[in-house]
């Protein structure tokens, strides 16, 4: 805890927006009350979450050091900041950056905070936020005040609230956009922040704006609310008017949902009231008790978009007029970015490095003579010194027009071509000149097991390893390979957005020879373009240490066998699951007696279980449970192949059967003679694994069991192409959870 | 008077070119397994991918330890995070002692094959709290006697140069450059 904490309030008095100042004072009081035991830990948890103060790995006061589970003896003793969350344990502070926009002073404050309260690194997230890790909860009011002094808030950065409103970082300068969506994103941010209609959601709500439909940058398809700029002739006047295509109910998470078109044209004056009506419907009808079904996408899916729209339009009629619906937009429209310097012409590419950088890290703006420069941040990380240098650069060459991106980079807009060489030199001086923006090497990764409580495998460790290997000459030779995207998530929750990558990976664990081995599920053929319109398909789970070989093998094959102009997505589709799996099959098992497979990238601790021995991996004692889980995997694979051939009923039936096989495998550990009858399997599984919570995930609870129960209740019913795909994803997750459960059972037996 | 809290001490590594930080990850995890420090060690953070970044770190409750690469200078950095009740001079000594002891461990760790050695002369000290110690000429003037007292103890008066970090946006701090090479054990002896 900082010695200066008590002084920041006085130091910044009068310099903070009044509403934010009041909000932070209130939070500081909540901290004091929690310390006195006057606020329940659950209430305090949601209170801090709504201010962006998030939990972090090991904050339950325990850490597996590779040999044993250590109790971390913090001085705060029994005091908690949430259920099973020790007060003194470091946490994460998420900071909202609406539409990713930042000015120089904000960059400087971010640098100071990273240095003084965190580990010297500020991290850009896949939703244009910043995150600071290893933060003490007692420091958070000072952090929030310092942010508020430059007009940044962390309010509603986490928790069941409207999260950061993202937008394409090129909007306003993009050649393919319809119009600049920035003012609308800002207006919506102001309108929804702390709005009474947004305070009773069952889960979070994520809006995103895009200036066009053909490029990826806004990722509207995977958001709860996606807005794409559109124009039309006004029905009355015939004049062109601006508005939005409105999409609802998209989302990644364990099972990704494509957003559905709500309205092909929402006039700008209807943007905020309609959003308010949507928020009210979500607050009223969204699931509250079962958090695993509480995301907005489930409400839209369950109701169907037509019914949902009907409810929203009815709600819209009930709203009292709010002048802010238009005032906020009009205010926001007054701030238009302009250049600082006169336009110029392209500089000579006078070195190989500069040439490479110009090609990948600059993007011509629609305004002639200007480009947007992308600064590639490795794994989204930037140091305090680099942030300060960036602030200087943004002042010197632009009117401080900087934005974060969902690819965990930063862009500087409105750079005159005349300044490009000097700007490059300035970036080079602080080592922010890495080429390859948006290319294969520019890997997106969530925090994974580094800091996230939900992480299963080391996504950052893998991403760092892949980055260093991809910089090898081999990968730079083929243009088509260069343009592929790799995205890595540490678990099924998709914070690394693996579903929309050409090569996506998410962390799972598998048991090999009785011991846990970190794996990644390989997800291929997702589409980043068109606002992330297509999600990839899982192919096979591969040990973490073999993933670099997976990348190498797949890219080699793509280079050698792709047809003319064939995208990787189409290539994956053409090959099909069977061929892809065959290609990777030998990588799916770790070699015998290689201990390195029992730890993860960048983390030499023995993975997973504290009592894991060494050198015993060659011992292959296969239990009926292991056989059963393998059968479930096979069945699911066949289901996925059937789905690929559009044999929907076959696919759905097999996916359901795969779940049954996995459940049966677990039941066999207690009742070896369990029959094949589905009702019996469900009944035994429910009694022995669901009711006893043996199958429960520490964070997802009974979510995965419910996938099985739902599938059982729908057995024999027809599935659509989309609902069948959901079932396949759910079956994969159920089987992954069965593997985890089998590891837990093994631990219990060993202990 | 400026209250010196959250003191950072960085000791530069000798022959930095080409040193791989990867072996440190194993060593740091081992330190956490042993919990042999007086402070609670929590986790290892790996920032090798960040140029001129914090390198490889141990995150602790009272303090962080890292093989830091800021400004392109590789060094053992100690960052004291909790509040210490003591005099300024004692706090400076505590931070210096902790950094030196950490470096000594690294020098002696056989797994690191004697690749991490103190360069014998460069010590940097920063105050990681801008409100307590804003980087101004006034702060530097106020802190000069405290820093000199420590410098005199470590190197001997007249045997070092003290240079202040003058960029007002950076942390208040100074570099001590010894004129004669000195060992870690020698410095620890002087600190008592």
Q: pLDDT for A419-432, tens place per residue? A: 999 999 999 999 99
Task: Give the closest of B29, B51, B83 to A1, CB-based.
Answer: B83
Task: Give chain A's mean pLDDT.
Answer: 92
Residues of A in contact with B129 (CB under 8 A): 2-4, 116
Task: Give the closest of B6, B68, B70 to A2, CB-based.
Answer: B6
The pLDDT confidence band at residue A613, using thresholds 50, 70 and 90, is very low
- Give the DSSP letter of residue A590: P
In the predicted model, is pLDDT for residue A440 greater than 50? yes
Task: Give the closest of B40, B128, B132 to A74, CB-based.
Answer: B40
In the predicted model, is pLDDT for residue A555 greater than 50? yes
Please name every residue paired with A245 in a beta bridge, in sequence order, or none if there are none: A228
Q: Parallel, antiparallel, or unpaired for β B63-68 and A515-524?
A: unpaired
- B3 interface with A at CB cutoff 8 Å: yes
Q: What is the mean pLDDT of residues A387-400?
A: 98
Task: Give the tens place of pLDDT for each residue, A329-372.
Answer: 999 999 999 999 999 999 999 999 999 999 999 999 999 999 99
Q: State the SS3 of A471-504.
A: CCHHHHCCHHHHCCCEEEECCCCCCCCHHHCCEE
Give the residue among A372, A369, A378, A364 at the shortest CA–CA distance from A394. A372
Share above pLDDT 90 across residues of chain A, in percent, rounded to a whole number: 76
In the predicted model, is pLDDT for residue A313 greater than 50? yes
pTM: 0.89
* Residue-wise DSSP of A707-734: HHHHHHHTTTS---HHHHHHHHHHHHHH
pLDDT at A478: 83
The pLDDT confidence band at residue A255, using thresholds 50, 70 and 90, is confident
Q: What is the mean pLDDT of residues A656-662?
A: 94
Q: What is the mean pLDDT of residues A72-78?
A: 94
- B128 interface with A at CB cutoff 8 Å: yes
pLDDT at A618: 28
Task: Give the closest of B44, B49, B131 to A8, CB-based.
Answer: B131
Please name every residue paired with A445 in a beta bridge, in sequence order, or none if there are none: A488
Asked whether B119 and B14 are in contact (CB, 8 A), the reply is yes
In three-state secondary structure terms, A556 is: helix
pLDDT at A747: 56
pLDDT at B173: 97
- B48 interface with A at CB cutoff 8 Å: yes
Chain A and chain B share a number of CB contacts under 8 A equal to 117
- What is the C-alpha to C-alpha distance for residues A300 and A257, in angstroms, rounded to an integer? 10
pLDDT at A531: 73
Task: Give the tens place of pLDDT for each residue, B122-180.
Answer: 999 999 999 999 999 999 999 999 999 999 999 999 999 999 999 999 999 999 999 99
Residue in chain B nearest A64 by alpha carbon: B33
Q: Is B147 exposed, middle or buried, given 0-12, 13-18 or 19+ CB atoms closer than 10 A?
A: buried
- What is the C-alpha to C-alpha distance for residues A115 and A96, in angstroms, rounded to an integer? 19
Q: How far is CA A651 from the centre of its chain?
A: 28
Angle between the N-to-C axes of helices A678-685 and A648-667, in degrees from 0 to 180, rounded to the nearest 10: 50
N-to-C CA span, chain A: 38
Assigned token pair, A335: 């701030």
Q: What is the mean pLDDT of residues A89-111?
A: 98
pLDDT at A617: 25
Of A283-287, A542-546, A604-608, B115-119, give the lowest mean pLDDT range: A604-608
Task: Give the closest of B70, B132, B169 to A108, CB-based.
Answer: B169
Task: Give the tens place of pLDDT for each residue, A697-743.
Answer: 877 788 899 999 999 999 989 999 889 989 999 999 999 889 888 87
**Residue B145 backbone zone (phi > 0: left; psi -120 to 50: alpha; other: beta):** alpha
Mutate which of B66, B70, B129 to test chain A, going by most A C-beta atoms within 10 A? B129
Taking the CA of residue A383 and the nearest CA in chain B, the distance in Å comes to 6
In the predicted model, is pLDDT for residue A749 greater than 70? no
The pLDDT confidence band at residue A628, using thresholds 50, 70 and 90, is confident
pLDDT at A616: 21
Task: Give the tens place of pLDDT for each residue, A590-608.
Answer: 998 888 999 999 999 988 7
The pLDDT confidence band at residue A473, using thresholds 50, 70 and 90, is low
- What is the C-alpha to C-alpha distance for residues B57 and B36, in angstroms, rounded to an integer? 16
* Residue-wise DSSP of B57-81: EEEESSEEEEEE-GGG--EEEEEE-
pLDDT at A746: 67
Assigned token pair, A650: 């076959």
- What is the C-alpha to C-alpha distance for residues B98 and B105, in angstroms, rounded to an integer? 11
Assigned token pair, A663: 């459940």
Residue in chain A nearest B34 by alpha carbon: A65
Share above pLDDT 70 across residues of chain A, in percent, rounded to a whole number: 97
Of A72-81, A605-614, A683-692, give the lowest mean pLDDT range: A605-614
* Residue-wise DSSP of B88-103: HHHHHHHHHHHHHHHH
pLDDT at A612: 27
Phi, psi of A461 (to 5 degrees): -60, -45
Assigned token pair, A530: 């068109």
Q: What is the mean pLDDT of residues A514-532?
A: 88
Asked whether A52 and A155 are in contact (CB, 8 A), the reply is yes
Q: What is the mean pLDDT of residues A682-688?
A: 94
Asked whether A164 and A128 are in contact (CB, 8 A), the reply is yes
More confident: B24 or A215: B24
Q: A602 vs B46: CB contact, 8 Å cut-off?
A: yes
In the predicted model, is pLDDT for residue A475 greater than 70? no
């Amino acid at each position: 805890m900082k010695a200066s904490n008590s002084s920041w309030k006085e130091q910044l008095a009068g310099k903070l927006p009044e509403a934010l100042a009041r909000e932070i004072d209130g939070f500081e009081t909540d901290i004091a009350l929690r310390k006195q035991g006057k606020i329940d830990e659950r209430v305090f948890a949601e209170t801090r979450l709504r201010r962006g103060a998030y939990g972090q790995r090991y904050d339950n006061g325990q850490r597996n050091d590779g040999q044993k589970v250590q109790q971390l003896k913090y001085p705060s003793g029994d005091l908690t900041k949430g259920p099973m969350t020790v007060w003194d344990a470091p946490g994460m502070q998420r900071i909202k950056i609406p539409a990713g926009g930042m000015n120089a002073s904000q960059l400087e404050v971010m640098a100071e905070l990273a240095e003084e309260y965190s580990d010297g690194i500020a991290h850009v997230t896949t939703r244009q936020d910043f995150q600071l890790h290893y933060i003490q909860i007692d420091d958070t009011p000072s952090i929030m005040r310092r942010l508020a002094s430059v007009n940044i808030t962390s309010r509603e950065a986490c928790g069941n609230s409207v999260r950061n409103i993202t937008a394409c970082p090129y909007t306003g300068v993009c050649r393919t956009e319809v119009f600049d969506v920035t003012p609308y994103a800002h207006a919506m941010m102001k309108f929804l922040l702390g709005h009474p209609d947004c305070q009773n959601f069952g889960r979070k709500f994520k809006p995103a704006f895009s200036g066009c439909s053909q490029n990826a940058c806004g990722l509207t398809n995977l958001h709860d609310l996606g807005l794409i700029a559109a124009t039309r002739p006004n029905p009355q006047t015939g004049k062109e008017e601006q508005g939005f295509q409105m999409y609802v109910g998209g989302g990644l998470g364990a099972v990704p949902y494509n957003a559905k078109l709500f309205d092909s044209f929402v006039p700008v004056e209807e943007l905020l009231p309609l959003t308010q009506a949507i928020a009210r419907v979500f607050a009223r009808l969204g699931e509250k008790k079962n958090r695993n079904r509480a995301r907005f996408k489930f409400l839209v899916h369950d109701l169907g978009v037509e019914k949902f729209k009907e409810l929203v339009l009815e709600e819209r009629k009930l709203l009292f007029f709010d002048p802010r619906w238009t005032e906020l937009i009009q205010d926001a429209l007054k701030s238009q970015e302009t250049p600082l310097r006169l336009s110029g012409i392209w500089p000579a590419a006078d070195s190989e490095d500069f040439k490479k950088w110009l090609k990948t890290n600059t993007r011509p703006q629609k305004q002639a003579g200007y480009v947007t420069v992308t600064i590639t941040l490795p794994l989204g990380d930037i140091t305090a010194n680099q942030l300060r240098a960036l602030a200087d650069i943004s002042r010197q060459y632009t009117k401080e027009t900087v934005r974060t991106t969902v690819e965990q980079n930063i862009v500087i807009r409105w750079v005159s071509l005349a300044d490009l060489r000097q700007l490059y030199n300035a970036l080079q001086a602080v080592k922010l000149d890495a080429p390859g923006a948006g290319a294969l090497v520019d890997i997106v990764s969530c925090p994974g097991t580094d800091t996230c409580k939900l992480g299963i495998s080391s996504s950052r460790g893998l991403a760092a390893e892949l980055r260093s290997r991809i910089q090898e000459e081999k990968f730079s030779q083929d243009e088509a390979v260069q343009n592929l995207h790799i995205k890595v998530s540490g678990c099924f929750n998709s914070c690394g957005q693996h579903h929309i990558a050409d090569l996506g990976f998410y962390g799972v664990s598998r048991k090999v020879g009785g011991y846990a081995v970190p794996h990644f599920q390989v997800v291929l053929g997702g589409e980043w373009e068109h606002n992330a319109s297509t999600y990839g398909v899982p192919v096979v789970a591969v040990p973490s240490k073999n993933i670099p070989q997976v990348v190498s093998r797949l890219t080699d094959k793509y280079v050698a066998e792709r047809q003319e102009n064939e995208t990787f997505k189409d290539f994956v589709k053409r090959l099909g699951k069977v061929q892809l799996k065959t290609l990777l099959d030998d990588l799916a098992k770790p070699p015998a007696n290689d201990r390195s497979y029992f730890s993860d990238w960048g983390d030499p601790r023995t993975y997973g279980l504290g009592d894991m021995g060494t050198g015993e991996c060659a011992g292959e004692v296969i239990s009926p449970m292991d056989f059963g889980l393998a059968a479930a995997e096979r069945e699911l694979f066949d289901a996925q192949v059937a789905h690929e051939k559009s044999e929907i009923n076959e696919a759905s039936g097999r996916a359901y059967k795969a779940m049954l096989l996995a459940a049966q495998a677990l039941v066999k550990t207690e009742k070896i003679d369990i029959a094949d009858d589905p009702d019996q399997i469900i009944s035994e599984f429910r009694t022995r694994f669901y009711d006893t919570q043996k199958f429960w995930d520490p964070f997802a609870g009974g979510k995965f069991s419910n996938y099985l129960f739902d599938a059982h209740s729908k057995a024999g019913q027809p599935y659509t192409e989309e609902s069948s795909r959901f079932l396949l994803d759910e079956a994969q997750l159920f089987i992954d959870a069965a593997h985890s459960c089998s590891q837990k059972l093994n631990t219990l037996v060993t202990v | 008077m400026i209250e010196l809290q959250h003191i950072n001490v960085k000791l530069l590594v000798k022959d930095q070119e080409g040193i791989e930080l990867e072996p440190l990850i194993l060593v740091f995890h081992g330190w956490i397994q042993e919990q042999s420090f007086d402070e609670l060690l929590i986790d290892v953070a790996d920032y090798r991918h960040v140029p001129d970044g914090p390198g490889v770190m141990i995150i602790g409750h009272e303090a962080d330890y890292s093989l830091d690469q800021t400004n392109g200078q590789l060094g053992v950095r100690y960052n004291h995070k909790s509040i210490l009740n003591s005099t300024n001079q004692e706090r400076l000594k505590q931070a210096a002692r902790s950094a030196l002891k950490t470096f000594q461990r690294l020098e002696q760790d056989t797994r690191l094959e004697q690749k991490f050695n103190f360069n014998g002369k460069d010590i940097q000290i920063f105050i990681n709290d801008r409100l307590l110690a804003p980087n101004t000429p006034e702060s530097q003037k106020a802190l000069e006697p405290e820093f000199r007292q420590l410098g005199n103890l470590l190197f001997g008066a007249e045997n070092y140069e003290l240079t202040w970090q003058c960029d007002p946006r950076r942390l208040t701090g100074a570099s001590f450059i010894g004129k004669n090479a000195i060992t870690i054990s020698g410095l620890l002896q002087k600190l008592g």
